[in-house]
Structure 1
Amino acid sequence: MPRRTTTMLASTLMLIVLLCAGVLIKVPYSEMSPGPTVNTLGEHDGEPVLQISGRKTYPTTGNLNMTTVRVTSADYRMNLVEAVYGWLAHDNKIVPHDTLYPDGKTEEESTQENAEEFSQSQESAKVAALKELDIPVKSWVVVSTVVKDSPAEGSLHAGDVIKAVDGTAVKQPGDVAELVTKHKPGEDVVFTVVPAKEQAAAEKEHRTATGAEDVTITTAASDDEGEKRAIVGITAGTDHTFPFTIDIKLADVGGPSAGLMFSLGIYDKLTPGSLTGGQFVAGTGTIDDDGKVGPIGGIEMKTVGARDKGAKYFLTPADNCAAAAKDTPSGLRLVKVDTIGDALDALQDIREGDTADLPKCTTG
């Protein structure tokens, strides 16, 4: 057999061996890629994304698209060939598996956490939009979660309204931890609560909840290094009652990053005219009850997804601007926003065609 043929055969066999090895070798990485974008002003799977009843709404035009990121599942183990291909693909991103699923988080746990964050983001989007419109929203502090095997388990329940701790009125979630940690581990703390069932019944009947009761819990020591804090094993959050019904219909989406775009969509439907002036605007960002826009993950994937869908402008959280500006997709203009007010101002400039001075994202 000629030497040249032998060399080619050996090289081919070696390549086959390397490819097989690459397929068999598992690496601790996951992949992120651009996901679907959905117009919050439009429909998804045949029904409106935003459904408002009990309040006058107005026709809308254009796009206010929320954006998503696809990620490989927690249980998927990427092989070396897939990792190399992902590194070479411009629009994808390969990251350590633990970045997306820290502490060995399972797919089920990750899905549940994303669903909870998505639900909370919807509530905050509603509150932020209505506050911007000066529409009153009733709010109160509730038990969000109860830690398993904690002192509070069986005594407090998710949805219970926390009226006071040790007789001191609670006005915001942070008050709860502050009042509990005034105790030493092992001391009793008294919660004044309205049970979740009573609160739900009162809301349904459009009345003020009654039946507040005192619940005494013996605190435990935290797991902190150094000095231990007194804890009871709950997280406190905020719940709201809205003066009319706002439903957000969007399945198979998780996480908090659509908050800003939901709030803008709600605002648009509740006001005359069009926020976008018919333009295609996309964006991302968490939002809190006061309209503050927060950073999100996967910004590079979201800008690509928005551009591919047809967006011309992308509302970008201020804290994500530097990363997004490093590799902005061609034809997409990044607009820096820090609050819902910033976003509304930018949309006014966009619909009026006065875009020269839109806040820019820079790498610096």
Structure 2
Amino acid sequence: MSVTPPPPVGPDHDPWIGLEPTVSRRYVTVVVAALSTILLTIVAFLMPVPYATLEPGPVFNTLGEFNGEPMLTVEGDVQTYPTDGALDFTTVSVTGPDGRLSFTEALWAWFDPDVKLVPMDFLYPDGETAEESDARSAAQLASSKDSSTVAALRALDYEVPEQVSVADVAEDGASADVLEAGDVILSVDGTAVSTPQQAIDVVSTVSPGDPVTLVIDREGAQQELSITTRPAEEDPEVPRIGVSLASTFDLPVQIDNNVGDSVGGPSAGTMFALAIYDLLTPGSLTGGQRVAGTGEITPDGEVGPIGGVRQKMAGANADDAEVFLVPAGNCAEAADGDDFGMTIVKITTLDDAISSLEKLAADPDAKVPTCS
């Protein structure tokens, strides 16, 4: 038997010596690349993205209480009637202007059918701050309260006169030191006006730089004032007098809307109006059902589209609503998904909503306008 001697060892003879550095560098390169990929992936998933989410928010029964007191109260010697069921206004929870949505959160939102992902500047144009957003929402809510009250009273055949008032005067505008906030505009260049649009239309008939004559009421005293128009910043061909206008109403019935500042925006107007109508008429408009809905409303009872209708439907479903009122302008979006087993009613006016609810109160299977 022969024995083969072991191979010589040493730097000149070890077969692994020459390979060791090469394997080590390759291994380190692979590990570093893998760790870098993992780290970059983690960073990417945690990085904020310029998007916001719209999610189902809470619902509030306009026939019930808000923060421990009735949401709607009627002042004075006016007959009100008991009712039942619910008329819920729906809300949407949105990412605030200072919020930072991560890529992971945006990805989850993308696949959630009840959540809508939108560009941040869609909700907050021109870098709007949280304070500015809150102020805008509060102003929209205040206008919605007024419009809903007027619409409901007019649906009840009350006469509700309207006037044009000056809401704000631009400090460097054409009306600075001439008009004051609270002035009521009675006529423009001899034409009587009772709505902001009428006043705007008359001013628009002159050329920028031409004067217009306004008759106003200031604290009960009438005055005639001349204002020289100026070109609008967005269009030099359009005349402006440098004021913001609003409608004021002489209400025959005083309705107090006790919704606080925890909600905002104009979209509860239709449900406010329905609740006021229900309180001032005999019987139950809901027929005992839980009715939810949304829609901006004008003083004349026109119902306009709003945002986040799918999220509001999901919120209504979570509160066991049986009927959901949808502005006609939102019907396509409302029909693009689950109806959650609710009766989806299309409305274009307050009268539409009242008529449909009266039919459903008498017969839950009654045929009413729908979005399908």
Task: Tell me if both proteins adopt one fold, taking TM over 0.5 as the criterion.
Answer: yes
Moved over 6 A (4+): 7-13
Per-residue CA distance 1:28-66 (angstroms, 9 max, x = gap): 111110111100000011011111111111111000000
Determine the structure 2 residue equivalent to 1:201: none
Q: Which residue in the other structure is 2:126 paired with?
A: 103
1:341 is matched with which residue? Answer: 351
SS at 1:238 equivalent: strand
Alignment partner for residue 31 of structure 1, among 53, 75, 89? Answer: 53
- Structure of greater Rg: 2
- Summarize the Cα distance change of 1:190–1:87 in structure 2 as closer, same or farther, 3 Å threshold: same
* Cα displacement (A) at 1:223: 2.3
Residue 73 and residue 154 in structure 1: after superposition, are their counterparts in 2 closer, same or farther (change >3 A)?
A: farther
Counterpart selection for 2:67 from 28, 45, 50: 45
What is the CA-CA distance between 1:288 and the residue it aligns to?
0.8
Q: Say whether 1:213 aligns with 2:201.
A: no
Say if 1:64 and 1:282, in contact at 8 Å, map to a contact too.
yes
The secondary structure found in structure 2 opposite 1:81 is helix
Tell me: CA distance 1:218–1:84, structure 2 relative to 1, closer, same or farther (3 Å): same
Higher mean C-alpha deviation, range 333-342 or range 169-178: 169-178
**Comparing 9-18 and 83-92, the one that deviates more:** 9-18
Deviation, structure 1 residue 11: 6.4
Question: Out of 257, 281, 284, which is 2:291 matched to?
Answer: 281
Tell me how far 1:78 sits from its aligned partner.
1.9
CA-based RMSD:
2.2
Q: 2:79 aligns with which of 49, 56, 78?
A: 56
Is contact 2:314-2:340 (8 Å) kept?
A: no
The structure 1 residue matched to 2:325, chosen from 303, 306, 315, is 315
Q: Deviations over 1:266-312 (max 9, x none)?
A: 00000111101110000000111111111000101100000001101
**Matches of 2:221 and 2:366, distance apart in 1:** 58
What is the TM-score normalised by the length of structure 1?
A: 0.89
TM-score (norm 2): 0.87
Q: Which residue of 1 aligns with 2:8?
A: none
Q: CA deviation at 1:355?
A: 2.5
Please report how far the alpha carbon of residue 104 of structure 1 lies from its aligned counterpart in structure 2 after TM superposition: 1.8
- Conserved? CA contact 1:19–1:81, under 8 Å: no
Aligned to 2:7: none
Identity of aligned residues (%): 43
Matched, 1:179 2:202: yes
| Residue identity matched to 1:35 | G
Shift of 1:187: 2.3
Please give the secondary structure, in 1, of the residue aligned with 2:48.
coil
**How far apart, in 2, do the equivalents of 1:329 and 1:147 lie?**
47
Counterpart CA distance in 2 for 1:175 and 1:84 is 48
Q: 2:233 aligns with which of 202, 209, 223?
A: 223
1: CA distance between counterparts of 2:363 and 2:103?
A: 49
Which whole-Å CA distance do the structure 1 matches of 2:364 and 2:322 have between them?
Answer: 14
Quick check: 1:293 aligned with 2:303?
A: yes
* Distance of 2:214 and 2:302 partners within structure 1: 30
- The one-letter code of the counterpart of 1:27 is V
Larger mean Cα displacement after TM superposition, 121-130 or 323-332 = 323-332
Q: Which residue does 1:244 correspond to in 2?
A: 253
Structure 2: which 5+ runs fail to align? 1-29
